[in-house]
Amino acid sequence: MKTVMLAAGEGKRMRPLTYTKPKVMLPVANKPILEWNLINAIKAGLNDFIFVIGYKGEIVKNYFGDGSKWNVNIEYVNQEKALGTAHAIEMVEDFVEDFIVLCGDTIFGSNDIKKMKRKYGIGLVKVEDAKEYGVVELKGKKIVKIHEKMEEPISNIINAGIYHFGKEIFEYIKKTEKSPRGEYEITDSINMMASSHEIEGVYIEEWKDVIYPWNLLELNEEILKKMEGEIEGEIEENVTIKGNVVIEKGSIVKNGSYIEGPVIIGKNCRIGPNCYIRPYTSIGDDCHIGNGSEVKNSIIMNGSNVPHLNYVGDSVIGSNCNLGAGTKIANLRLDKKNIKVFTNGKKVDTKRRKLGAIIGDNVQTGINASINVGCMIGNNAFIGPAAIASGEIKPHTRVM
């Protein structure tokens, strides 16, 4: 059985992080979202994969290669234009018979993937707010119709983004017309197929979707909670480590540092001296968390530095960023209300009381820069000494 991973999209709602990386390659607990899906699919007994890549697909290909690192086979199909999920699946027609499809930017549990292996059908999940999803109309277990993004959803049962198809799906994909978004949607193909075939809805339990950048923090917390501690790096004297903490090879934790798990620290990092790393923090490879710095409930990607007297809370910091001495990120409004952000020119309620900054790759700040709650900073931006950053800051901007 082949497994098709849909990994071609940019993920515009994940900007500024996706200006430089495809959404599926954004890390949680120091692994790309797509890798967590691969790991769970392997646990479910699958070992033959086709990755449909597109936007910045070379990043996916360079990371996963032929799959030998995971003892599986990975092939690639390039969707050069983002023409929708039905078009992406159509591209694998010549390579599959009986096959599973996983949306690469949603993490599915291994037991649920096993369940989908046994049955032709569509994965279903119940959510609190169904407005952002395809709402599924059912008759018993049978799919009647998938309604895309209803203002007033008829139920809280949604299309989870995991499918088990046979060859017949391609007959309906070929009949699928462009949606109002200008894409060929697999949900339209399924709706046509449902009029003449009985398609079963299969409820799944472990499901985590990532729509906006702050959803990465929720997913990161969920994965870290399940992780066991393992120390492979060097720990100097007078270091306190509590709870489950992973410290990978080549990293050193210096005197006076306090780490409170669950926390993961990647390879070749310099931690401390005298820093405080609080729970639900993921620090990538080749990072530096230095003297007097505090990091809490955050994701810091490869090659980034929080080196001198910094505070980072409830934030996502991209790769190869550097915070100047004294740079602080606020993460709580004074009135304690939900934090709203500007992203792609629109105001969005994050539904979070605590959210710091979402910072793209290669951002630098000067000494004593201040970053306000919910600030979205595009890649290669520069926040000058003592400057205050707030709102949405586009890539390559200088704030002085």
The CATH number of the domain where 359 resides is what? 2.160.10.10
Nearest to 302, CA basis, from 67, 63, 52: 63
Domain that holds residue 274: 220-399
Last residue of a domain, one of 154, 184, 211: 211
Last residue of a domain, one of 158, 189, 211: 211
Helices 57-64 and 33-43: angle between axes, nearest 10 degrees: 50
Q: What is the pLDDT along the chain (400 residues), one digit of tens a residue?
A: 899 999 998 888 899 999 999 999 999 999 999 999 999 999 999 999 999 999 999 999 999 999 999 999 999 999 888 888 899 999 998 898 899 999 888 899 999 999 898 888 889 988 887 777 888 887 888 888 888 777 777 888 888 889 999 898 898 999 888 888 788 888 888 888 888 888 888 888 888 888 899 999 999 999 999 999 999 999 999 999 999 999 999 999 999 999 999 999 999 999 999 999 999 999 999 999 999 999 999 999 999 999 999 999 999 999 999 999 999 999 999 999 999 998 887 898 999 999 999 999 999 999 999 999 999 999 999 999 999 999 999 999 999 9
DSSP codes, 347-399 = EEE---SB--EEE-TT-EE-TT-EE-TTEEE-TT-EE-TT-EE-SEE-TT-EE
> Within this chain, do residues 64 and 190 fall inside the same structural domain, yes or no?
yes
197 is catalytic: no
> Within this chain, do residues 60 and 153 fall inside the same structural domain, yes or no?
yes
Angle at 291 between CA 289 and CA 293, to 5 degrees: 60
> Within this chain, do residues 341 and 285 fall inside the same structural domain, yes or no?
yes
337 close to 353: Cβ distance less than 8 angstroms: yes
Last residue of a domain, one of 185, 211, 237: 211
Instruction: Quote the tokens at residue 291.
Output: 């003297």
> Within this chain, do residues 263 and 237 fall inside the same structural domain, yes or no?
yes
Nearest to 317, CA basis, from 296, 334, 346: 296
The model carries a pTM of 0.90
> Within this chain, do residues 132 and 270 fall inside the same structural domain, yes or no?
no
> Within this chain, do residues 266 and 136 fall inside the same structural domain, yes or no?
no
- Quick one: 221 exposed, middle or buried, by C-beta within 10 A (0-12, 13-18, 19+)? middle
Please identify which of the residues 164, 197, 308, 396 carries the catalytic annotation. 308
How far apart CA 180 and CA 21 sit, in angstroms, is 27
Q: Which CATH number characterizes residue 181's domain?
A: 3.90.550.10
> Within this chain, do residues 20 and 58 fall inside the same structural domain, yes or no?
yes
> Within this chain, do residues 107 and 177 fall inside the same structural domain, yes or no?
yes
> Within this chain, do residues 201 and 227 fall inside the same structural domain, yes or no?
no
> Within this chain, do residues 158 and 276 fall inside the same structural domain, yes or no?
no
Residue 47's alpha-carbon distances to 72, 110, 166, 330, in angstroms, are 5, 13, 18, 44
> Within this chain, do residues 207 and 225 fall inside the same structural domain, yes or no?
no
Structural domains in the chain (count): 2
> Within this chain, do residues 43 and 181 fall inside the same structural domain, yes or no?
yes
